[in-house]
Structures are given as structure tokens and as C-alpha cells.
């Protein structure tokens, strides 16, 4: 089977980490439904996508998301947590 | 108790230059064309199907069917979950080489995890591998 290089942009890093993605970016504080930023914030959306794609060319730790802060996003949101069993 | 997947990390090396690479988008955010059938949000088990999105799509013709996140912002600007216009700008700036011939939208909610993992995910990988000519894929959720 041929592999395809991937990079994930996630706003639920703890949830995504369960599936151990090969490369992942967590734009810190972005809410669900805003993976690239808010509507119309094209410069921010571009920066997030540039940062995500750049992870393809770097030595990342597979299975862990890289967190990057984008203050221009504005109000921050807490990501969903994984419920512990037992 | 660990909740990590016991499957190996499916890491595929990327040994190209981004400026010469073709990129595809695969989103679990329930994105599809307005004239494609929406995802089945009535089925409590979820929807295992996916939609192909062409590279020259007018982003105003894209919409979201998904009932597990607030997609009002995506309704205003689909690029917040499906950054096709953003990708075009990165192509025009020379940051990436090109846009893949095929992109995929599916609804990332299902209670049928095995069928998703062993069926839908492989079908999507095959679509990308054979049909999109992508060198790499950006994955987004809702």
C-alpha cells in the first residue's frame, strides 16, 4: 500500500491525539468550526495553512500536535477534553 | 487508562519541496457541493459516504451538512474548514506547486468506526492516490 503524506489541522488536539496523526497543527484557542480561523480573516487563514503545510517539511513528532498561537484570532476557546474511562 | 490508538502511526515521509508539490484537501467537516446530496444526519449511526469536490469549484457553491458542530461560520466563509481559496492564493504566491485534481468531503461523525476505518478511509485514500495526483493532503475537521 502506498502512503500519502498528510498534515492535520485540529482544534481538538486531545481528541485527535487518540488517533496519533502523523503530523498535526493545533491553532491554540480556535473554536470548533474555525480550523483555519474566522470567516474573512484571509491573512490568518493563509498563515495557518502555511504553518500546517510547513510541518510536512520538518522533523515532527508523529502522534503529537504542534501548538501555535495566533493572537489575531481574538477570543480564545477551550478545546474539548477526552473523558477518562474508569 | 490509555485511550491512544494501538495502530501504528501512519507516517509517510515527505521528501519534496512544497513549491513543487500538489496539495489536496480532505475534510471531515461535512463539506459538499450544493447540488450534491447532503450527508444523512437523520441516521444516528452517522454517514459513511463521501463527496468528491473538483479543483475548480466556486467556493460559494460549497456548503456543510453536519449536526455535530456549529458550522454557521463555514456557511459564511467555507475556507474556515475547507481552505480551497486559501490554497489558490498559496499557489499564486508560489508557496505550493499546485492544487490537486480531486478533494474530498465527508461527515466526521459515525458510530461505525470499523467501517469508517476499514472502508471509507481506504476508499478516500484510493481516490486521492489514483484520482487527485496529490503529493500531500491537508486534513481538517469541523
A29-62 residues labelled b (16+ CB within 10 A) or e (exposed): bbbbbbbbbbbebbebbbbbbebbbebbeeebee
Q: Give A62's DSSP letter.
A: T
In a domain, A82, yes or no: no
In a domain, A34, yes or no: yes
Q: How many CB atoms lie within 10 A of CB B10?
A: 16
pLDDT of residue B83: 98
Question: What's the pLDDT tens digit per position in B6-52?
Answer: 677 778 999 999 999 999 999 999 999 999 999 999 998 989 999 99
In a domain, A3, yes or no: no
Could you state, in order of their start, the residue ranges of all structural domains in chain B? Answer: 20-140
**Radius of gyration (Cα) for chain A, nearest Å?**
13
Judge whether B139 is closer than 8 Å to chain A, CB to CB. yes
Question: What's the pLDDT tens digit per position in A23-77?
Answer: 999 999 999 999 999 999 999 999 999 999 999 999 888 888 999 999 999 999 9
The closest CB to that of B140, out of A3, A23, A35, belongs to A35
- The count of structural domains within chain A is 1
Residue A41 belongs to what domain range?
8-73
In a domain, A14, yes or no: yes
C-alpha cell at A18: 487518540
pLDDT of residue B84: 98
The closest CB to that of A2, out of B80, B129, B137, belongs to B129
Query: Is the entire prediction scored with pTM above 0.90?
Result: yes
In a domain, A78, yes or no: no
In a domain, A50, yes or no: yes
- The interface predicted TM-score (ipTM) is 0.93
In a domain, A2, yes or no: no
Provide residues of A within 8 Å CB-CB of chain B. 2-12, 16-23, 32-40, 42, 45-46, 49-50, 52-54, 56-57, 62-63, 82, 84-86
In a domain, A86, yes or no: no
Q: How far is A58 from chain B (nearest CA, A)?
A: 9
Judge whether B56 is closer than 8 Å to chain A, CB to CB. no
Question: What's the pLDDT tens digit per position in B64-112?
Answer: 999 899 999 999 999 999 999 999 999 999 999 999 999 999 998 888 9
Amino acid at each position: 500500500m502506498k502512503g500519502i503524506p498528510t498534515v492535520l489541522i485540529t482544534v481538538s488536539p486531545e481528541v485527535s491525539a487518540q488517533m496519533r496523526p502523523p503530523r498535526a497543527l493545533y491553532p491554540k484557542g480556535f473554536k470548533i468550526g474555525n480550523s483555519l480561523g474566522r470567516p474573512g480573516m484571509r491573512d490568518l487563514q493563509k498563515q495557518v495553512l502555511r504553518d500546517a503545510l510547513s510541518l510536512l517539511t520538518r522533523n515532527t513528532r508523529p502522534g503529537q500536535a504542534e501548538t501555535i498561537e495566533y493572537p489575531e484570532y481574538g477570543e480564545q476557546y477551550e478545546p474539548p477534553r477526552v473523558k477518562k474511562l474508569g | 487508562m490509555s485511550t491512544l490508538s494501538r495502530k501504528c502511526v501512519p507516517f509517510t515521509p515527505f521528501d519534496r519541496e512544497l513549491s513543487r508539490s500538489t496539495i489536496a484537501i480532505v475534510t471531515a467537516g461535512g463539506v459538499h457541493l450544493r447540488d450534491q446530496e447532503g450527508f444523512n444526519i437523520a441516521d444516528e449511526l452517522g454517514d459513511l459516504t463521501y463527496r468528491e469536490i473538483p479543483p475548480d469549484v466556486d467556493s460559494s457553491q460549497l456548503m456543510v451538512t453536519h449536526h455535530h458542530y456549529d458550522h454557521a461560520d463555514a456557511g459564511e466563509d467555507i475556507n474556515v474548514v475547507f481552505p480551497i481559496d486559501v490554497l489558490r492564493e498559496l499557489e499564486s504566491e508560489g508557496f505550493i506547486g499546485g492544487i490537486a485534481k480531486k478533494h474530498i468531503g465527508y461527515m466526521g461523525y459515525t458510530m461505525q468506526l470499523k467501517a469508517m476505518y476499514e472502508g471509507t478511509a481506504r476508499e478516500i485514500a484510493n481516490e486521492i492516490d489514483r484520482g487527485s495526483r496529490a503529493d500531500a493532503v491537508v486534513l481538517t475537521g469541523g
